[in-house]
């Protein structure tokens, strides 16, 4: 399974999402968008926008096919099978 | 009544371990409660948000919302400087602000749990005042403009808005011309 977590390093709900993935042993790629600058940030924001036009955080993308905006615990558990 | 406040050993430990976050938490709690707002009762969650606010203050020079991506230009981030313009409508609709830093009385006293809520920013068109500015001029009988705090709605008639909102303490640039 390919899991991507787009997050902000300062955000409480992002931290809760990260903790949930960690606790359940889910492997994922993490991008802290607030730590990126310039073109790099724009490129990542364009990726996030594809899944979540509002570009809010956290955004979790699973297998490049499903996404969850915000810390929606049940929906995440369902998608990740945990 | 004793002036001494009892601090639990757990809070004393938090204050010692995270002094800056703790100090900001105490200040926002005191100011919030004086104006009728409650902070999330999950103190460790709130302290993480305090760290986020302090980080943003250091990065940008103002305490941008820790749960939103700030631009870094104050003029573009005005609506998301904490407390943000969306706090009160979100408290009304969901019992919590976007970060769940500010919560309803039900959540503050543990009768309900905070939930992640949808992003309100960008979902509403900007206030129509800008389009109708000409019509609004001269509404105030005294001839003074009326200024509205975009965070809490406080209104005052005076040549300029106050430096800080006396109700919710946000800065002068969070006021808009109301009439």
Asked whether residue B135 carries a pLDDT value surpassing 50, the answer given is: no
Residues in chain A closer than 8 A to B68 (CB atoms): 8, 56-57
B4–chain A nearest CA distance, Å: 32
User: Which among A8, A33, A54 is the nearest to B67, CB-wise?
Assistant: A8
Complex prediction ipTM: 0.94
Q: What pLDDT score does B36 carry? A: 83
What average pLDDT does the segment B70-79 reach?
Answer: 96
Q: Which domains does chain B have, with CATH numbers?
A: 11-108 (3.90.460.10), 128-177 (2.20.28.10)
Q: Higher-confidence residue: B160 or A68? A: A68
Give the chain A residue nearest B72 (alpha carbons): A34
Number of neighbouring beta carbons within 10 Å of residue A56: 23
Helices (H) and strands (E) in chain A, counts: 3, 4
Torsion, Cα of B109, B115, B121, B127 (10° steps): -50
- List, in order, residues 6 or more apart from B25 with CB less than 8 Å away: B39, B43, B46, B47, B50
B48–chain A nearest CA distance, Å: 7
What average pLDDT does the segment B66-78 reach?
Answer: 96
What average pLDDT does the segment B40-53 reach?
Answer: 97
pLDDT less than 70: residues of chain A: none
- Band of the pLDDT at B179, cuts 50, 70, 90? confident
Helix (H) or strand (E) holding B155: strand B155-157
CATH match of A3-71 with 3.90.1170.50: no
Structural domain boundaries in chain A: 3-71
B117–chain A nearest CA distance, Å: 8
Asked whether residue B3 carries a pLDDT value surpassing 70, the answer given is: no
Q: What pLDDT score does B122 carry? A: 85
This prediction has a pTM of: 0.85
Q: What pLDDT score does B93 carry? A: 92
Alpha helices (H) in chain A, listed in sequence order: 12-23, 38-51, 73-80
Please, which residues bridge with residue A17 across strands?
Answer: none
């Amino acid at each position: 399974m390919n899991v991507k977590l787009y997050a902000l390093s300062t955000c409480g709900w992002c931290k809760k999402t990260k903790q949930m993935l960690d606790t359940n042993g889910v492997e994922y790629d993490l991008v802290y968008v607030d730590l990126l600058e310039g073109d790099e940030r724009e490129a990542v924001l364009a990726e996030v926008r594809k899944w979540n036009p509002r570009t809010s955080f956290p955004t979790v993308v699973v297998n490049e096919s499903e996404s969850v905006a915000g810390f929606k615990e049940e929906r995440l558990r369902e998608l990740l099978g945990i | 009544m004793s002036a001494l406040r009892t601090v639990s050993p757990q809070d004393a430990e938090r204050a010692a371990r995270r002094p800056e976050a703790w100090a900001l938490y105490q200040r926002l709690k005191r100011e919030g409660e004086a104006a009728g707002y409650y902070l999330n009762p999950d103190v460790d969650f709130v302290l993480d948000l305090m760290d986020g606010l302090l980080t943003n203050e250091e990065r940008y020079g103002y305490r941008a919302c820790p749960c939103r991506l700030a631009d870094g230009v104050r003029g573009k981030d005005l609506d998301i400087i904490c407390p943000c313009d969306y706090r009160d409508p979100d408290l009304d609709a969901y019992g919590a602000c976007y970060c769940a830093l500010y919560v309803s009385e039900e959540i503050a006293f543990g009768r309900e749990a905070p939930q992640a809520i949808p992003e309100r920013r960008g979902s509403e068109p900007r206030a129509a005042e800008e389009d109708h500015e000409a019509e609004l001029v001269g509404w105030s009988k005294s001839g003074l403009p009326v200024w509205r705090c975009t965070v809490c709605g406080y209104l005052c008639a005076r040549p300029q808005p106050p430096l800080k909102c006396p109700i919710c303490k946000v800065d002068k640039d969070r006021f808009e011309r109301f009439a």
